[in-house]
Structures are given as structure tokens and as C-alpha cells.
Chains A and B, each alone.
Chain A
Amino acid sequence: AAGVIQSPRHLIKEKRETATLKCYPIPRHDTVYWYQQGPGQDPQFLISFYEKMQSDKGSIPDRFSAQQFSDYHSELNMSSLELGDSALYFCASSSLGGGRSDTQYFGPGTRLTVL
């Protein structure tokens, strides 16, 4: 079965640079979520989109922005990168509009390293 696709899988950037992470949800899934997992930490919710509209927002820095496109893929844009942004970034998708009892399926993640 098709899974969530994330690209790139690994990304190395310098401080103050920008980065764009991409997420392609499972076909026919309409909701996309972004999570950040720091070293030794649990995944933390950043932001989600349902039908191309932002549906919920978590602890996402103002330096980050995201959107969902007409084909349901999503991009997370990160500017003025800081060392503390180094983490695994997971995208997940679901098919029930992100309501309660919705199962989120995760992609393999993008490992961002900021030097």
C-alpha cells in the first residue's frame, strides 16, 4: 500500500539559511500534519491542514510556515534556521478530516541538521 512520502530524507543547512520540506500524503487522504522530534524527545505537533486550510496549530515558531496545495501535498518552509531546529520532521496524513478517532499515518521523516 502507498505510504506517506517525505522529501528530502536528509538535509544539512547552515544557520540563518532557509529549508523547505515536502510531504505527499497517502492517496485520497485530505489531512496533513507536521511534527518535530528533537533528539531523545517525543514528537511535538507543529501544524495541520484539512482540505488546504490550516486546521490546527501547535508549537510552530513564527519563522516556520506551511501550506497544503491543491494536490494535497504540503510544504513546511523554515527560515532563519537555528541550531535548535535540528530535528526529525515527520509528516502524517489521515482521511477523515482530522476529526477525533482519526488514525494518522506517518512518513519516514526528514532529518534536518543545522550547522
Chain B
Amino acid sequence: DQQVKQNSPSLSVQEGRISILNCDYTNSMFDYFLWYKKYPAEGPTFLISISSIKDKNEDGRFTVFLNKSAKHLSLHIVPSQPGDSAVYFCAAYPNYGGVTNKLIFGTGTLLAVQP
């Protein structure tokens, strides 16, 4: 049962344009979300996170939006650069009332930024 879903396996964008990566989740106990970028043969690199008490968090070219009622979040990259080409994973922490450790990952979206 995939609790975090990234329905677009791939996305192609022109350099300088906006990239929008989407993520949906099913578990209402998720209360903290992270985006990671992953290049081949490397580990995931943390990009940006958002708590469920917020609906937006911005860091440079990266902005994450959270719509709790729709159980949906998105990552916006503006402007997109060729070096952004990678697999992007959405991940979530569930809140079961205590300390939680495990990240639940989405299936990933391969972003290709065309020069």
C-alpha cells in the first residue's frame, strides 16, 4: 500500500521555466514532509521540508506548498536549471503520538531540464 504517491514518473521542462512536482498522500497522520533530490549512484539529498502547520515554505529557487485538505503537496523550482535534472522523492513522517523515525517515501519523479 503506497501511502505517498508521485503519479508522474517523469517530467520534462525547458531551462528557465518552472518545474512543478506533485505528491499525494493517503495517511492523515503524516504531519511533516520533505523533498529529496537523487542523482544516479548517489544518496538522496535533502532539499526542503514543510510542517503540517504551514501551507508554504520557500528556500531560494525551491518552494513547497501543502494542501492538507487535499492531502497534496507540490515542489516548485523556479527557474529550472539543467543541474536540477534528477529523481525527486517526496517523503513524510507519520505522527503516531510519539517519537517517530521512519520516513515514508514516494515513488519518485524523474525531472529532465532541457537546455
Chain A residues engaging chain B, CB cutoff 8 angstroms: 4, 6, 31, 33, 35, 41-45, 48, 50, 55-56, 58, 90, 92, 97-109, 111
A-B contact count (CB 8 A): 72
* Partner-A contacts on B (CB < 8 A): 4, 31-32, 34, 36, 41-46, 49, 51, 89, 93, 95, 99-108
Q: Tell whether, in the assembled complex, residue A104 and residue B42 are in contact, meaning their CB atoms are under 8 Å apart.
A: no
Expressed in whole angstroms, the Cα–Cα distance for A2 and B12 within the complex equals 33
CA distance A97 to B44 in the complex (A): 20
Contact check, A99 vs B99: say whether CB atoms are below 8 A apart: yes
**With A90-B43, A90-B44, A98-B99 in contact, do A106 and B105 touch (Cβ < 8 Å)?**
no
B100 close to A108 (CB less than 8 A)? no
Name A106's contact: one of B36, B99, B108 (CB within 8 Å). B36
B99 touches A107 (CB 8 A): no
- With CB as the reference atom, state the residue of chain A lying closest to B102: A45
Q: List 23 A-B contacts (CB under 8 A).
A: A41-B107, A42-B105, A42-B107, A43-B103, A45-B101, A48-B101, A48-B102, A50-B101, A56-B100, A58-B102, A90-B43, A92-B43, A98-B100, A99-B99, A100-B31, A101-B51, A103-B46, A104-B34, A106-B44, A106-B46, A107-B43, A108-B41, A109-B41
Known contacts A107-B43, A108-B41, A109-B42; A33 and B102 CB within 8 A of each other? yes
